Structure 1
């Protein structure tokens, strides 16, 4: 179990930059109607990789997993050379013809009949990247004053909250206690097998998010995910509180595994899956680099704090108190999302900025 967790945690922390680079890149290369589906695939494939790591660690030699990862990483690096830069970056460099070629490539505009679509995309892109066709990038350079503007301030506030709840929901930290929770439920599964089950739950949950993100919208999924996590944690907390108080709970000892499984499943609908996508959608053009990076720093700092001090919390508050604390954070986040977070489904950059202002 510890070996598998070590592999997973190292992969997550070393590849942290991926969560900063991929979401804005996907937002730049796709059109508005499929932005959510493509953006949600980041965590979907991360969960697939985690499940494969758990499976390889259980059924194959220890060195099989790093060998597989090395081969896949090299293959990915080679394939990336075949793809053009995003049209947004090219237009900022005043490389208009290359920007048009990039749009044609990523949106499959190969025929002459697609010329009007191409021009529409270029017009929209030029209105987003101010000064893009004049060779000037100063309008889009980051300044501290950008954080005090309406759109910039709201985008950073929402991004920071989404990054924080991704970790303060306790889901990532609870994964460290998978074997303990399964044991509480009287499960006879080995730690490695229980990890595979959790990996499968994460994959299925993130698949649901990919299917629903352009149907139900980001805001709805975040609300359902946050409230669902809170209800699952409250149920788990009540069970643990009754058990620690000496109440007989043997007849309902299935509650820990059911609650934990539900929490992991529903968390992947949005709280663990969609922050990266929504943050990249909300950030104004001049805040994209700084804002996305800063929010990811906040996320990983919260990750360190929750995992580092979870044992201290459980010792001070008890496991049930810790569950109640995490559930409170989720309900607070759900309230914030209802009040402040705009829906970005199907909206263009200009429409999102208008809502934020």
Structure 2
């Protein structure tokens, strides 16, 4: 038995790990509620008696309501890393409740569209921060055996939040949906007060000699776990992070930096230009315009339930099949389903009214086994710890910029290219994603960041490249520890 296997057996989670993870993942559910509000909310705003009311004369306002949260998320994504370094994960998650709750209250109280858009920007801002902070916290508190499960938990709770809103949207108006939307945020902020902070951040901030790190680990581990060994690993991690120095733009010349940067941003581009957020934001309208025989809101709920099931299934197979296989399957699923959707609109064959819901179920299943969770995961798996902050921040901001472009311009794209042309455009981009993964994305299953650096540097040992700047080239050899 290897040393790592032996250490893993002596490191078991306590009940606090699950409670803390679920509490932190309420931020993901809040993000899902923010994403999911538009599908039932926009049709509700269009109903007679709504104040304000969407009409054919203010369609541009509709696109702003749908897409404005992505602008807030772009800013939040950029600020999440610095806030995490400064305040620590626990305080940031507690603080996330403020913009989420204020945003939902503004939407609920709105008598005009301006307040709704401001509320959407605020909830989007909090969602952008949560993209990096909540998964980081789950990874930091977990043990190696459950790290993959908790790592995919973020996408699962986002989908639960979307389903939560669509199910309740069957019964209540957009204003009540806003009140319902703030419930996960309240649970998150209050519950997080009682949870331990990230041991990784505490070690970096206070060192081993303080009691904070040991106290946090004692709460997060079972009584028979080897706390001393884990403390030593965290101490080594903090030392190596300090030796690596700060990131500089000049380091983008290194293949083990620019390749993760390129891969990260291209995967984020392909994730958003699959059209996923345009589909989610306007799902109800898509079914209504398609002439489906089923109630559009019921169809929306079925698709969202499929998303939850798909991400859970993906979590169970990701460590068996690997990242590349699932990305390829995801891209192929996008290409086929979007191409068929385009054909449906091109043929205008109403006898095929069942086709949109079948295609979109397969589309969201394809997304959630691959391009949903994997781009966020793979960044941490291929990027050296000292470059993780800048690479992740750029990738997150670029992701939300792409999301804004797609959601804001979705109606304009359909007007310029017809609806079938818009779906064929997304299908073509998804086909290009398959080529990119085959040519440039390495398999990360079972590999440490150290091993990924060797692949990018094409060396047997990172030591071969340490003559130029030894501090900057040091890497973390412990695959079970992930730095802040």
For Structure 1 versus Structure 2, the TM-score category normalised by the shorter chain is: 0.7 to 0.9
Partner of residue 9, structure 2: none
1:164 aligns with 2:279: no
CA RMSD of superposed structures (Å):
2.8
Answer yes or no: is 1:256 the counterpart of 2:348: no
Query: SS in structure 2 opposite 1:15?
Result: helix
Shift of 1:109: 4.7
Cα gap change, 1:281 to 1:22, in 2 (>3 Å): farther
Q: C-alpha separation between the residues in 1 aligned to 2:438 and 2:233?
A: 29
Q: In the alignment, what sits opposite 2:41?
A: 4
Query: After the TM superposition, which residues 33-72 of structure 1 pair with which residues of structure 2 at under 5 Å, given as runs?
Result: 33-60=145-172, 62-72=174-184
**How do residues 270-309 of structure 1 correspond to structure 2 at under 5 angstroms?**
270-309=370-409
TM-score of the superposed pair, with normalisation by structure 2: 0.64
Q: Confirm whether residue 236 of structure 1 aligns to residue 236 of structure 2.
A: no
Determine the structure 1 residue equivalent to 2:328: 223
Distance 1:324 1:64, change over 3 A: closer
If asked which structure has higher relative contact order (CA below 8 Å, sep 6+), I would say 1
User: Equivalent residue for 2:130?
Assistant: 18
Could you report, residue by residue, the CA deviation over 1:129-168 in whole angstroms, capped at 9, with x for unpaired residues?
4446xxxx36342222232222211111111112111111
SS of alignment partner, residue 17 of structure 1? helix
Alignment check: 8 A CA contact 2:41 2:173 kept: no
Query: Once the two structures are superposed, what CA deviation does each residue of 1:28-82 show, in whole Å capped at 9, x if it has no partner?
Result: 3334443322111101111111111122232246554444443432331232233
Aligned residues, how many? 343
The answer to whether the aligner puts 1:336 opposite 2:436 as a matched pair is: yes
> What is the aligned partner in structure 2 of residue 246 from structure 1?
none
* 8 Å Cα contact 2:272-2:402 kept in structure 1: yes
Q: Aligned-pair distance for 1:13?
A: 5.2
**Structure-2 change in CA distance of 1:129 and 1:342 (3 Å):** farther
CA contact (8 A) 2:198 2:216 kept: yes
- 2 CA distance for matches of 1:76 and 1:46? 14
Distance 1:260 1:227, change over 3 A: same
CA contact under 8 A between 2:39 and 2:280: conserved in structure 1? no
1:313 and 2:313 equivalent? no
TM-score using structure 1 length: 0.84
- Structure 1 spans left out of the alignment, 5+ residues: 244-248
| More off after superposition, 55-64 vs 145-154 | 55-64
Q: Structure 2 vs 1, CA of residues 89 and 354 (structure 1 numbering), >3 Å: closer, same or farther? A: farther
Change (3 A) 1:284 1:267: same
Task: Report the equivalent of 2:25.
Answer: none
> Is the CA contact (8 Å cut-off) linking 1:36 and 1:277 kept in structure 2?
no
* CA gap 1:291/1:102 in 2 versus in 1, 3 angstroms: farther
How far apart in 1 are the matches of 2:138 and 2:66?
Answer: 27
For 2:116, the equivalent position in structure 1 comes to none
Deviation at 1:352, TM superposition (A): 3.4
- CA displacement at 1:205 relative to structure 2: 1.9
- Please say if 1:151 is aligned against 2:188: no
Displacement of 1:278 in angstroms is: 1.9
CA contact 1:237–1:319 (8 Å) conserved in 2: yes
Contact kept, 8 Å, 1:140 with 1:285, in 2: the verdict is: no
With 81-90 and 199-208 compared, the bigger mean Cα shift is at 81-90
Looking at structure 2, the residues matched to 66 and 253 of structure 1 have their Cα atoms a distance apart, in angstroms, of 32
Does residue 324 of structure 1 match 2:424?
yes
1:233 and 1:3 mapped to 2: Cα distance? 23
The alpha-carbon deviation at position 110 of structure 1 amounts to: 2.7
